[in-house]
Amino acid sequence: MTPIAIFSISGLAIVSLMVAKKWGEKRRKRFLILDIISKGDIRIRRFYHLTIHFYSEGREYFLFFLKKQISMHSRNSLNKLLAFLRKKRERYVESMRDSRLLKKSDGISEFFKNMSNIEKGNGEIHDSIGRDSQDDKKELD
């Protein structure tokens, strides 16, 4: 029911506009409804052209921003991050070199002292497997 009503109202509107246009041409008078439609049409065209203009300008700006500006800012941020991480790594390496764990009053770290003692033969070897095997041999005899 609703589509039929809408169709009939729009058909009557179109027919009445055509009759008003013909009648205005014969009498050389302008009707209020036709003036409203023509002014509305002019305003809608201006709005449409303005919208198209803003769309094209905005699209160009967006593509420029997307292709040029974002890549430039991301490269800049990446370079800053890499420089920051490099400085942090250098500070960390320097603090490791100056660490109290590695430096002793002798000038040689404890680890290297123990290594030199073991290489000279002065280190201790805790060989529990060898002692157990010797005890087993004594028990068998």
Helices (H), the chain: 2-27, 32-64, 70-97, 110-120, 128-140
Q: Considering only CA atoms, give the Rg of the chain.
A: 47
Closest of 35, 41, 1, 33 to residue 14, by C-alpha: 33
- How many folded domains does the chain comprise? 1
| DSSP states of 49-89 | HHHHHHHHHHHHHHHHIIIIIHHHHHHHHHHHHHHHHHHHH
Residue 16: the pLDDT is 83
Q: Is residue 43 part of a domain?
A: yes
Q: Is residue 98 part of a domain?
A: yes
What is the per-residue burial (b if ≥16 Cβ within 10 Å, else e) of 99-130? eeeeeeeeeeeeeeeeeeeeeeeeeeeeeeee
Alpha-carbon span 96 to 29, nearest angstrom:
97
pTM of the model: 0.39
Confidence of residue 105 (pLDDT cuts 50, 70, 90): low
Q: Is residue 106 part of a domain?
A: yes
Q: Is residue 94 part of a domain?
A: yes
Residue 54: the pLDDT is 95
**18-44 pLDDT tens trace:** 888 888 788 777 777 777 888 888 999
Q: What range does the domain containing 71 cover?
A: 25-120
